[in-house]
Chain A
């Protein structure tokens, strides 16, 4: 694992911009997963991921436009609301220090991710989101931005 600064993280995200989201799904509780890029061969469990795979986990979130909230992570109907992201291009990723609050903007539909954990690195991480980059690296937003080997 190596720490990567905000500018470095945005550089790694760059190639993802403009790609369309597919298989946007709610996971356990209010976790969210989303694929980008061409589909990869199925993994050991038969799951098909994209070249890029986004996983939002230990964080609160809202799906909203500039002037309206569509759904919050504690609302009912998360599956139906998240389906609105299907096929939309990711147009901007905005990461705000110090907590690494993140906006994933899908052409005007915004997924606002709000970290709700404070962790010191020695206590073990509680990550807000991870992004598999398709080259064997995973960009992780926890108490800091890091690059980890996929499966590491």
Chain B
């Protein structure tokens, strides 16, 4: 999992809870471009997007069991689809620019807009802080933004 999430890191995470600060953090994704998609074998619908951010590369990993990519008229891909199909369907994001990222209350749903396509990450595990995060972003500088499970987030140096 390039740029991914070593599980041991989670043992030392100090969770933040403020959604406004998280919104400031995720704004750093604005303007980045999708360079590559990775769908790990046996990943249960998880996938990674390599993003170019200000001439450097970072990795966005979607770890939630519930996400969906919608176009204006149709669903383009979703977490319950077959892995072989996901790799093909998610390739439509390559070359697309992140135009905005929104995190909504009360469910902490993240909506990442790639122009007219929207990736929605739908948190379904709210109670157990030790569960798998919903998504992470490894910045070019090496920081790891961890969002979820549920209403919590952290930045790991």
Binding site for B on A (CB under 8 A): 58, 60-62, 64-69, 71-77, 98-99, 112, 114-118, 126, 143
Contact = CB atoms under 8 A, between A and B. Distances in A.
B115 interface: no
B70 A58 contact: no
B75 A115 contact: yes
Given A116-B68, A118-B75, A60 B106 contact: no
A98 B69 CA distance: 10
B124 A62 contact: yes
Contact of B106 (A65, A73, A98): A65
Given A75-B126, A116-B66, A117-B81, 11 more contacts: A60-B122, A62-B122, A64-B107, A74-B124, A98-B73, A99-B70, A114-B120, A115-B78, A116-B45, A116-B68, A116-B80
A112 B126 CA distance: 14
A69 B81 contact: no
B14 interface: no
B76 interface: yes
Given A99-B68, A114-B68, A69 B74 contact: no
A45 to B, nearest CB: 28
B14 to A, nearest CB: 22
B58 interface: no
The range of chain B's interface size is 20 to 34
Majority SS at the chain B contact face:
loop
Given A68-B106, A75-B128, A114 B122 contact: yes
Nearest to B124: A72
Contacts of B123: 62, 69, 72
Of the candidates B71, B89, B107, the one having the most CB atoms from chain A within 10 angstroms of its own CB is: B107
B156 interface: no
B105 A72 contact: no
A58 B80 CA distance: 9
B124 A118 contact: no
Contacts of B65: 60, 74, 116
A72 B120 CA distance: 16
B104 to A, nearest CB: 11
B63 interface: no
A76 B127 contact: yes
Interface string B46-75: 000000000000000000011110111111
Contact of B78 (A68, A73, A116): A116
B150 interface: yes
Contacts of B33: none
B80 A64 contact: no
B94 interface: no
Contact of A64 (B73, B81, B106, B127): B106
B131 to A, nearest CB: 8
25 contacts: A58-B80, A61-B124, A62-B124, A64-B106, A68-B106, A69-B126, A69-B150, A71-B126, A73-B66, A75-B124, A75-B126, A75-B128, A76-B127, A76-B128, A77-B127, A98-B72, A98-B73, A98-B75, A114-B66, A114-B120, A116-B66, A116-B80, A117-B78, A118-B68, A118-B89
